[in-house]
Structure 1
Amino acid sequence: MGAVAVRNETFGELLRSWRQRRRVSQLDLAIEAEVSARHISFLETGRARPSREMVRRLAEELEVPLRQRNALLTAAGFAPMYPEREVRAPELGVVRQALDRILAGHEPYPAVVVDAAWNLVAANAAAAMFMDGVPAELLREPVNVMRLSLHPQGMGGRLLNLAEVRAHLLPPIRRQAETSGDPRLAELYEELASYTYPGVDLNVAHVPGPADILVPLRIADGDRVLSMFTTIATFGTPLDVTVSELAIETFWPSDEETAAAFRRA
Structure 2
Amino acid sequence: MTEQSGFEAEVAARVRVEVRDHIAHVTLTRGDKMNAVDPAMAEAIVAAGESLRGRDDIRAVVLAAEGRAFCAGLDVASFGKFAKEDPVARVMPRTHGEANLMQQVCMVWRDLEVPVIAALQGVAFGAGLQLAMGADIRVADPGTKLAIMEAKWGLVPDMGGMVVWPGLIRSDVLRLMTYTAEPIDAAQALSWGLVTLISDDPLAEAQRIAGVIAGKSPSATRGAKRLIALAESGASSAEVLLAESREQAALIGGAHQMEVIAANMAGRAPQFD
Superposed pair shares fold, TM > 0.5: no
Larger RCO of the pair (alpha carbons < 8 Å, separation 6+): 1
* Rg larger for: 1
TM-score (norm 1): 0.26
TM-score (norm 2): 0.25
